[in-house]
Chain A
Amino acid sequence: MSVLLTRDFLVSLFAAGVRMSIPIMLPALGEIYAERSGILNINLEGQMLMGAFASFIVGHYSGSVVLALLAGALAGMLQALLMATACIQWKTQHVVIGIVLNMFALGFTSFWYRVVFGVTIAPPMANVSGGVSTPVPLLSNIPVLGEILFSQHFLFYIAIALVIVSRFVFNRTFFGLKIRSAGEYPLAAETMGVNICRTRYLSMMICGVLAGLGGTFLSVLSLNRFVDNITASRGFIALAIVIFGRWKPLPVFFSSLLFGTMDAFQLRLQSVGLNVPYHLLLMLPYLLTVLVMIMTSKNSKSPAALGTNYNREAMTDT
């Protein structure tokens, strides 16, 4: 038991937890924008996948981490725009079109990867100089806390900034109010002069950018390679995290951290060979998610118009 309580073990556990939460945290944060504006964006996984793929291609050929990040964000955004157009313009069922577009993204990325790179035993590398971690000067010298929080990948610091910005946007800005009203009662908002369609498009674009960045972390920054279906259902976990975090940036941030840490904990417990069936450990993070969702579901309210299409001409929700 003693090995579990050593300082090194705990630091490495929490640092890994933070690391593992990054690719869930960013898409989940984006999903808040989408869902708050009324669009149930099941396509999150596809947006991540597109981001992972585009950033890999650009990173591989340019070697620039900035270009790779831009490409990832752009690809995620384009996929989100497709989803948004389907929901807003063509008024399709959000869940159905989301699933279809996920399949599309999986097929699209796998196919074009095959076309560009072929089948090889040693998959090509992205080779960007992103660095595994970028310690923050001074802050990273703080014992324990510095090692856990401030010796992370730079995308984590960006994520923290985005969480704070998002919190501000939702609570303190007119744009945030517009997003919330579009997701709560679009008809009333429209009569007050809010352009529902434009607000939803914008929210989806923000969501796509964040999901694309999450994908970029997985392919270019973390694995340094692209493999088929590299996101491995993290987009769906992010969807659950949003509900878990009650559509609020700060709770979503901490839920992601919790989930990442549970996953890291599971891998470590198994490694040190705790006398517990490891099947239990495998389901630990998911079990926790379910439990907390049951506990929080009572006082958690989804946006009232979530998943409904807004029909401007008819002036009703359909």
Chain B
Amino acid sequence: MKRFFALILCMLLLISCFACDKGGKTPEQSTPSSMDGKQKKELKVALILPGSLNDGGWNANAYAGLQELEKEGYKVAFTESVQISAIEEAFRNYANSGFDLVIGHGFEFGEPAIRVAPDFPEVNFFVSGKMPDGVTVDNMPKNVGFMDMKEYEAAYLAGIVAGGMTETNIIGYVAGLEIPSQLSNMAAFVKGVEFSNPDAKIYGVVTGTFEDPNKGQEAAKAQIDLGADIICQTADSTGMGAIQACIEKNIKIVGYGADQFEIAPELIMTCIVTDNKSVIVKQAKRILDGSFGGLWEPGVQDGTCFITPWHNFDSKIPQEIKNMVAKATEEIKAGTLVVPYILERIDHKMDN
């Protein structure tokens, strides 16, 4: 009996150590102070992230948006690295603790949000991704908002750059999980490359994970071994490995998620970026002005998705390519160019 007791105690100790991980972040939420937004102060915003804050992309960028809100006087909280199976629980947890807006940052949060929302009519749920199959604007709960972000429009622009810059006419592409946003990015990137360089081939790999840098590294190395002289990555932590492979072999990179320029200043040409910061800040504002809910479709048009400026590549990218990018951007904004939304693999197929 004594031994059993000791065991329980020991486990509790260990679990509490683990819990520190979450607890360690809470000091950050108790610092809102600015007095400029009295009514904003009422609004409590929670962010649930699918991956780690330190991925230098998708998650890090959203966290930056949350910090922005905090500075403006909102009460904020977040949980990171939430497994798909634990999403619903995380939603319920925040909804129960009186948060006004709970943001699930990714497509995989869609279905749990639809399930949870009817139980908490007072709480607004926002999913940074498309609606799941079978859900339409009409049949979904009123307190759920989705975002069909046209990130692929930015991927198309990045494709134009990569197509114009490749010398071997082979470009590698390292993707993460097989989800619509990743597939449509890859396809749009291929279309962009085709536009500026019809001879170039794209070797794509869906690694099946956003969280395994070593795998991303090897995926990129495989493509480099096959002759790629540019690697485009859209895979968060996995992509961090792809970038490292490029640094080792001195290969040009198209980054993703945030302006990753600092990671490899001499190699990163541009990055496909969604301004997750403004996405998150905007949701809080939409609640305040009552326009929250339904499907929100940001893209290149309203400046939510874009590719980052050239930094060290300013002099290396030919003016002709820059003009093509500028023209395509204008056309997308004007609505005359519609970037195709394709959910199939259209990267290089071996002709056999």
Contact = CB atoms under 8 A, between A and B. Distances in A.
B227 to A, nearest CB: 9
B217 to A, nearest CB: 6
B56 A121 contact: yes
Among B14, B53, B262, chain A packs the most CB atoms within 10 A around the CB of B14
B244 A224 contact: yes
B218 interface: yes
Among A16, A86, A110, chain B packs the most CB atoms within 10 A around the CB of A110
A275 B347 CA distance: 11
Interface stretch (B2-10, B105-113, B317-325): B2-10
Contacts of A114: 24-25, 53-54
A20 interface: yes
A121 B60 contact: yes
B347 A100 contact: no
B214 A222 contact: yes
B260 A122 contact: yes
Given A122-B262, A229-B81, A273 B54 contact: no
A23 B213 CA distance: 13
Contacts of B10: 86, 90, 92
Interface size class of B (residues with CB under 8 A): 35 or more
Interface stretch (A31-39, A101-109, A170-178): A101-109
B258 A121 contact: yes
Interface stretch (A61-69, A136-144, A193-201, A260-268): A260-268
A12 interface: yes
B348 interface: yes
Contact of A267 (B21, B205, B213): B205
Contacts of A117: 54
B206 A270 contact: yes
B130 interface: no
A232 B222 contact: no
Contact of B17 (A104, A223, A264): A104
Contact of A104 (B14, B81, B213, B226): B14
A92 B213 contact: no
B99 interface: no
Contact of B3 (A3, A90, A106): A90
A108 B17 contact: yes
B85 to A, nearest CB: 15
Contacts of A119: 53-54, 60, 63
A307 B350 CA distance: 49
A162 interface: no
Given A270-B205, A272-B350, A122 B218 contact: no
A117 B212 CA distance: 20
A227 B52 contact: yes
Given A8-B225, A91-B3, A121-B56, A1 B244 contact: no
Given A115-B24, A275-B349, A275-B352, A225 B244 contact: yes
Among A100, A222, A267, A271, chain B packs the most CB atoms within 10 A around the CB of A271
A171 B7 CA distance: 37
Interface in B230-285: 237, 240-241, 244, 247-248, 258-260, 262-263
Interface in B53-72: 53-56, 60, 63
Given A16-B221, A232-B209, A232-B212, A223 B244 contact: yes
B213 A282 contact: no
A185 interface: no
A272 B206 contact: no
A64 to B, nearest CB: 20
A120 interface: yes
A279 B217 CA distance: 19
A114 B223 CA distance: 33
A19 interface: yes
B206 to A, nearest CB: 6
A123 B236 CA distance: 12
A164 interface: no
The 5 A-B residue pairs with the shortest CB-CB distance, nearest first, are A122-B262, A232-B212, A107-B21, A107-B18, A228-B52
Given A103-B14, A282-B208, 5 more contacts: A3-B350, A121-B60, A268-B225, A268-B226, A271-B172
